[in-house]
Structure 1
Amino acid sequence: MTRIVTEPLTADAFAPFGDVLALKSAPDKLINQGLCGRHHDLATLDFADGHAGISLFDAQARTLPYTLDMVERHPMGSQTFIPMTPAPFLVIVAQDQNGNPDTPRAFLTAPGQAINLHRNTWHGVLTPLTPPGLFAVVDRIGDGDNLEEFWFETPFIVDRT
């Protein structure tokens, strides 16, 4: 099995796959009588049709090393994962290579980071590393098949080193 080493999640490294949602160095503006900083418009939602929906996902925690045997993508809409705890989670993504995923990359989030996957981006399943794995998810709600899975012939092992 091929080993994939995790890397820190940064906006530059993740840009080909989506957006990193995190506080900026300073808020765009103060609201609520100056007691709340608004960090505005951190991601672009992209849907072919349908509408944006907000769901709660309660995912089972996984451990490292992690065996990656499948990735998926959503051709009809972007997908945003917002952890509801400060715990880091694993994000696995891959570029498209003629309709199949290329070699995956693995990122570890820092507390306070969320992600928005671009439409049609190959990605691993939701992978919290500590319980509870509670996430708010913003994605496309509508008719049509918005899920494509790819099973690797030989799984990858994802670890910190």
Structure 2
Amino acid sequence: MKRFLRTLALAGLAAASLSVQAQQTGLVRIEFQGPGGHSSSNYGRTSALHAAGRTAILMQQNLPAGSYLIMNLTGGNSVNSIASDGLIEVRLTAANAPAYQSLVAALTELANAGATAENNFRGVKVGDLTAGAPAWIRASVR
């Protein structure tokens, strides 16, 4: 009986010394939209898929290791076209809700920076049109 009580007391002390943190995870979708086009007749247009790739590189350079996992990176609809759409699905992991919101805010900034980098590389600015459609890449995070 004494041994049982001693074991119970030690287990209670061990449990009391543990700190509990609520880890928060979630899936975030980053969508890129652009004009797209055929690769030969529209060469030089902005590519939503290139903007997604630029964003993935920025994520690697700027987000803490272990805080994200790229689950999916896709876009375009044929092999010889400039992608009019791009998608990155990211699993975020943070220690708590405020840290998670900080990661989402950082991810939003990086998505916009990736889109801006593609626009700058192609010499396109917000407001430019191509065939009546917006010529610049736009990013949205959900």
TM-score (norm 1): 0.25
Higher relative helix content:
2
Higher relative strand content:
1
TM-score (norm 2): 0.28
Q: Which has the larger radius of gyration?
A: 2
